[in-house]
Amino acid sequence: MKTLRYLALGLLTFSTFGARAVLAQGPVPCANTPMVVLYEHPNFQGGYVIVSLGEDIHSLSARSFNDRASSIKAYIPPGRSFILYEHLRQGNNLLLRPGYWEFPDLRREGLNDKITSGYWN
């Protein structure tokens, strides 16, 4: 008989089906839910921080996530944008315009483990 167990590990959910294991990759932004999701590791793995529409991040230090993001998924609704900064509103940045975005590895953008703040426009 297969047993099903769920164990919440803070930011991650781990499911076991017999000998197989599946690791959840956090929430997936969609057209009904504008958000930016910052992931701790490349390819949307590890811990994550969700930034909802209208919520600005003055410093990721407050969420214990400063300089830890390595990948991003986002849905930016029409008429809005979101900008991520290397420092507090300065330094290298990444502007997300309306649409669905995936950045599986922020090394390509020069921002791996460097994001400190983010703001909706």
Whether the CB-CB separation of 29 and 100 falls below 8 Å is answered with yes
pLDDT above 80: residue 57? yes
Asked, for residue 51, whether it belongs to a domain, the answer is yes
Q: In what order do the strands lie in the sheet with 117-120?
A: 93-96, 82-85, 117-120
Asked, for residue 3, whether it belongs to a domain, the answer is no
Number of domains within the chain: 1
For residues 19-47, give the mean pLDDT: 76
Burial class of residue 9 (count of CB atoms within 10 Å of its CB; 0-12, 13-18, 19+) = exposed
Whether the CB-CB separation of 87 and 54 falls below 8 Å is answered with no
Per-residue pLDDT reduced to its tens digit, 58-113: 999 999 999 999 999 999 999 999 999 999 989 999 999 999 999 999 999 999 99
- Residue 104 sits in a domain whose CATH number is 2.60.20.10
Asked, for residue 73, whether it belongs to a domain, the answer is yes
Asked, for residue 15, whether it belongs to a domain, the answer is no
Per-residue pLDDT reduced to its tens digit, 2-27: 332 322 223 333 333 333 333 446 67
Q: Give the closest residue to 30 by CA, choosing from 77, 71, 69.
A: 77
- Those residues whose C-beta lies under 8 Å from the C-beta of residue 13, and which sit 6 or more positions away, are 6, 7, 23, 24
In angstroms, the CA 121 to CA 101 distance is 16
Q: pTM for the whole thing?
A: 0.76
Asked, for residue 66, whether it belongs to a domain, the answer is yes
Strand partners, 21: 16
First to last CA, the chain: 53
Asked, for residue 114, whether it belongs to a domain, the answer is yes
pLDDT band at 31 (very low <50, low <70, confident <90, very high): low
For residues 33-38, give the mean pLDDT: 94
Asked, for residue 21, whether it belongs to a domain, the answer is no
Tell me which residue range forms the domain holding 99: 27-120
Asked, for residue 55, whether it belongs to a domain, the answer is yes
Pairing verdict, β 93-96 and 71-76? unpaired
